[in-house]
């Protein structure tokens, strides 16, 4: 009897212990689940199902990227699904939610007027820290950021744009015109891919702008030499089938730049881009490309330093155009004198700012041109009007049977050309998103936003090419309300906002009766961001887009490609790129 009692007591204790352990494990499970699951910011709409998953919205985004590669469309779909211009998504496991803002007016308010609340987010630094760790793009706004950006201050000056950038862009685009004339003759009406040609044209121009005329920028010319040397096509060309042309190997720096670009794009798609870059940089091909990039950049800075020592002071110089490297060396020389130190022409900031400018410029404009050429070809009425406007604006070139010169194109305003470029940027911005981070607790559209929260503003969709979300005025920030101007649309509206209509950027001239002028203030675009942290190379980008599009339309009729080659589907990485970009050309005399 005593033995049975002991056994019962033992089992009772065991049962109590098991129950206690079970309760403890259940509490621990719930506690871990609560700690590891996404933590929504109160009141801001989100996907409830995603909040119950450790990886949040990430699996759904991955499925969408595997299926379409179009991240921007998916982000916009989430705002539509949740019926809100401001939503939160759980895309970074075990981190704060990311806010998605789909409203041009509030986005511009953040970028232009709320620098005390928001600054550049760390995302771009994570992507570029391995390639250019001291470039200003990844820095917080402050004295060090301004010091680095001052190294490239010359990029926005009119003498630089007119004397250095204009001739380089014109020469590069003219070489592409020559290449396309040869390809159009061989293709005999069939389409051929244009992306690679745009890449070479852009990098050729930027190499001359950055390094000077004496550096071998032969991206396009090497393709011309190969095509004219030994390429023949079969006579049974079918218009529905794109032509594939062979590709030459240009200068080693251009090949290295292309490799670096490929890897940055790949790393930019990773959840952990910094770690991915570190691993990829150990591979022989990328390591060799980085060695070439470093060697060439240092050589050009050394050459620039020697060159400026022989030139007159910049303010009085008549010695010709200065390269970007020479401007930077001149700036460093002046700064070192002010600070009573020896100039450091070869330093991480000098190298990173010089190559960083070349890298960024070669990405955005090539993608914008890819969208532009598709859009202009698919809108023949606008294309014809643009060509007529160009011929009316450059009558000397028409009389002399030549293309407009660099000086003519940099000194004259063609309203319809400017409107065409602006409309392309409105409907097809290359920027995937514009990111910021809250640097203190603040509010956005009436919602509390904790410090450290990242905000992605979308430069397309609602308010740009589709109806804007309805937002009551009292929800908007004070600066948004006080800076609203009746003369400027805060969003695009109307039944035609998804259509390509350059005329929407034109208005009657107040000075000359019957003339139209280009007015960039009639509505919003976010293709280059805005405010103090907007794209610093914006004037140069506009110049390159205007010159290239003008020379293409001047020399060719851009025909619509077959439907199978005319898709507007996008592939998103660092930027919003068209999956396909083909041209079908008829050369004009």
Secondary structure element (H or E) that encloses residue 443, with its range: strand 442-444
Predicted local distance difference test score (pLDDT) of residue 239: 64
Q: Which residues of 276-287 are buried (b: 16+ CB within 10 A; e: fewer)?
A: bbeebbeeeebe
Domain boundaries in the chain? 1-36, 48-141+439-482, 150-435+487-587
Contact criterion met (CB below 8 Å) for 106 and 480: yes
Closest among 184, 194, 529, 537 to 371, alpha carbons compared: 194
Residue appearing with tokens 């090497």: 222
% pLDDT > 70, the chain:
90
pLDDT of residue 24 exceeding 60: no
Q: Which residues of 296-322 are buried (b: 16+ CB within 10 A; e: fewer)?
A: bbbebbebbbebbeeeeebeeeeeebb
Determine the straight-line distance between the first and last CA of the chain, rounded to whole angstroms: 116
* More confident call, 483 vs 46: 46
pLDDT of residue 30 exceeding 70: no
pLDDT, tens digit (0-9, with 9 covering 90-100), for 361-392: 888 889 999 999 999 999 999 999 999 999 99
pLDDT, tens digit (0-9, with 9 covering 90-100), for 31-76: 555 668 899 999 999 999 999 999 999 999 999 999 999 999 999 9
Contact criterion met (CB below 8 Å) for 409 and 550: yes
Rounded-to-integer distance, Cα 114 and Cα 223, Å: 48
Predicted local distance difference test score (pLDDT) of residue 405: 96
pLDDT of residue 529 exceeding 70: yes
* More confident call, 17 vs 382: 382
pLDDT, tens digit (0-9, with 9 covering 90-100), for 159-190: 999 999 999 999 999 999 999 999 999 888 89
Task: Tell me how crowded residue 524 is: count the other CB atoms within 10 A of its CB.
Answer: 20
Copy the structure tokens of residue 156: 């926005």
The angle formed by the CA atoms of residues 216, 222 and 223, to the nearest 5 degrees, is 145
pLDDT of residue 3 exceeding 90: no
Q: What average pLDDT is seen over the chain?
A: 89
- Average pLDDT of span 383-412: 96
- Average pLDDT of span 85-94: 93
Pairing of strands 454-457, 434-438: antiparallel
- Average pLDDT of span 183-202: 93
pLDDT of residue 461 exceeding 60: yes
Predicted local distance difference test score (pLDDT) of residue 241: 82
CATH superfamily of 150-435+487-587: Cytochrome P450 (1.10.630.10)
Query: Helices in 394-518 by DSSP H: which ranges?
Result: 395-399, 406-411, 415-427, 478-482
Which of the 8 DSSP states describes residue 577?
E
Sequence-ordered list of residues with C-beta below 8 angstroms from that of 330, at least 6 positions apart, any chain: 308, 314, 322
- Average pLDDT of span 542-565: 96
pLDDT grade for 125, boundaries at 50, 70 and 90? confident
Is position 535 annotated in a ligand binding site? yes
Rounded-to-integer distance, Cα 393 and Cα 396, Å: 9
- Average pLDDT of span 278-302: 94
Copy the structure tokens of residue 525: 């675009």
Predicted local distance difference test score (pLDDT) of residue 268: 82
pLDDT grade for 95, boundaries at 50, 70 and 90? confident
Closest among 125, 157, 155, 126 to 141, alpha carbons compared: 125
Rounded-to-integer distance, Cα 322 and Cα 312, Å: 11
pLDDT of residue 235 exceeding 50: no
- Average pLDDT of span 304-321: 68
Rounded-to-integer distance, Cα 578 and Cα 91, Å: 24
């Amino acid at each position: 009897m005593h033995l049975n009692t002991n056994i019962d007591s033992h089992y009772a204790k065991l049962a109590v212990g098991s129950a206690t352990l079970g309760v403890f494990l259940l509490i621990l499970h719930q506690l871990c689940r609560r700690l590891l699951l996404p933590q929504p910011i109160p009141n801001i709409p989100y996907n409830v199902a995603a909040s119950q998953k450790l990886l949040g919205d990430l699996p759904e985004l991955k499925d969408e990227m595997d299926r379409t590669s179009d991240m921007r469309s998916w982000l916009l779909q989430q705002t539509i699904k949740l019926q809100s211009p401001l939503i939160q998504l759980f895309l970074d496991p075990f981190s704060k939610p990311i806010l998605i803002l789909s409203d041009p007016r509030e986005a511009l308010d953040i970028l232009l007027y709320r620098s005390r609340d928001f600054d550049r987010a760390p995302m771009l630094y994570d992507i570029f820290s391995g390639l250019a760790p001291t470039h200003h793009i990844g820095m917080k706004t402050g004295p060090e950021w301004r010091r680095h950006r001052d190294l490239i201050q010359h990029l926005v000056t009119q003498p630089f744009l007119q004397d250095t950038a204009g001739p380089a862009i014109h020469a590069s685009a003219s070489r592409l015109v020559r290449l396309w004339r040869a390809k159009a003759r061989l293709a005999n009406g069939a389409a051929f891919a244009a992306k690679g040609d745009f890449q070479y044209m852009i990098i050729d121009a930027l190499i001359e702008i950055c390094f000077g005329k004496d550096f071998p920028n032969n991206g396009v010319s090497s393709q011309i030499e190969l095509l004219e040397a030994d390429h023949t096509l079969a006579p049974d060309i079918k218009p529905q089938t794109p032509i594939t042309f062979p590709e030459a190997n240009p200068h080693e720096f251009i090949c290295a730049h292309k490799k670096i670009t490929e890897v940055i794009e790949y790393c930019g798609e990773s959840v952990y881009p910094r770690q991915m870059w570190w691993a990829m940089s150990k591979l022989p091909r990328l390591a060799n490309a980085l060695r070439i990039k470093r060697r060439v950049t240092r050589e050009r800075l050394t050459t620039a330093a020697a060159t400026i020592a022989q030139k007159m002071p910049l303010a009085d110089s008549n010695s010709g155009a200065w390269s970007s490297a020479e401007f930077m060396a001149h700036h460093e020389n002046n700064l070192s004198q002010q600070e009573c130190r020896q100039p450091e022409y070869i330093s991480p900031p000098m190298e990173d700012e010089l190559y960083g400018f070349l890298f960024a410029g070669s990405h955005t404009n090539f993608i914008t041109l890819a969208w532009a050429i598709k859009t202009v070809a698919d809108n023949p009425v606008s294309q014809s009007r643009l060509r007529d406007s160009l011929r009316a604006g450059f009558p000397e070139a028409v009389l002399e049977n030549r293309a407009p010169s660099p000086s003519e194109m940099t000194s004259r305003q063609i309203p319809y050309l400017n409107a065409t470029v602006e409309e392309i940027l409105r409907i097809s911005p290359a920027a995937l998103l514009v990111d910021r981070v809250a640097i203190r607790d603040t509010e956005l559209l009436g919602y509390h936003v904790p410090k450290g929260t990242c905000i992605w503003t979308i430069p397309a969709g609602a308010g740009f090419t589709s109806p804007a979300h309805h937002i009551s005025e009292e929800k908007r920030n004070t600066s948004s309300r006080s800076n609203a101007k009746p003369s400027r649309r805060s969003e695009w509206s109307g039944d035609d906002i998804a259509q390509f209509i350059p005329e929407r950027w034109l208005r009657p001239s107040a000075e000359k009766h019957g003339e139209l002028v280009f007015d960039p203030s009639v509505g919003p675009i976010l293709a280059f961001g805005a405010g103090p942290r907007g794209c610093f190379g914006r004037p140069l980008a506009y110049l390159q887009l205007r010159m290239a599009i003008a020379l293409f339309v001047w020399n060719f009729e851009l025909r619509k490609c077959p439907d199978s080659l005319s898709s507007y589907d996008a592939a998103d990485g660092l930027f919003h790129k068209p999956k396909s970009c083909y041209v079908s050309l008829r050369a004009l005399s």
